[in-house]
Amino acid sequence: MEKFIKAGECALRVNDSGTGERVVVLLHGYLESLDVWNDFAPLLTPHFRVVALDLPGHGISEVRGEAHTMEFLADTVRAALDVLGVGRFLPTGHSMGGYVVAELLRKYPERLTGAVMLHSTPNADSDEKRVQRQREIELVAQGRKELLARTNPAKGFAEENRRRCARQIGELADQVCLTEDEGIVALLKGMMARRDNNGAFRQSSVPQLFIFGRGDEHIAAATAEQLAASHPQACTTWLDHSGHMGFVEEPEACARAIVDFVRKIT
Domain regions of the chain by residue span: 2-265
| pLDDT confidence of residue 103 | 98
| pLDDT confidence of residue 61 | 95
Closest CA to 210 of 122, 116, 113, 98: 116
Q: Over 90: is that where the pLDDT of 99 sits?
A: yes
Choose the CATH number for 2-265 among 3.30.470.20, 3.40.50.720, 3.40.50.1820, 3.40.640.10: 3.40.50.1820
Q: Over 90: is that where the pLDDT of 44 sits?
A: yes
What does pTM read for this prediction?
0.98
Portion of the chain with pLDDT greater than 70, in percent: 100
| pLDDT confidence of residue 149 | 95
Average pLDDT over residues 72-86: 98
User: Any residues with CB less than 8 A from the CB of 92 and at least 6 apart, and which?
Assistant: 24, 25, 26, 27, 101, 116, 118, 258
Q: Over 90: is that where the pLDDT of 9 sits?
A: no
Q: Over 90: is that where the pLDDT of 138 sits?
A: yes
Residue type, 51: V
Beta bridge partners of 236: 210
Average pLDDT over residues 167-176: 97
| pLDDT confidence of residue 58 | 97
Average pLDDT over residues 83-96: 98
Residue 26 pLDDT grade (very low, low, confident, very high; cuts 50, 70, 90)? very high
Q: What region does 65 belong to: left with phi over 0, alpha with psi -120 to 50, or beta?
A: left
Portion of the chain with pLDDT greater than 90, in percent: 98
Average pLDDT over residues 196-202: 98
Average pLDDT over residues 28-36: 98
| pLDDT confidence of residue 115 | 98
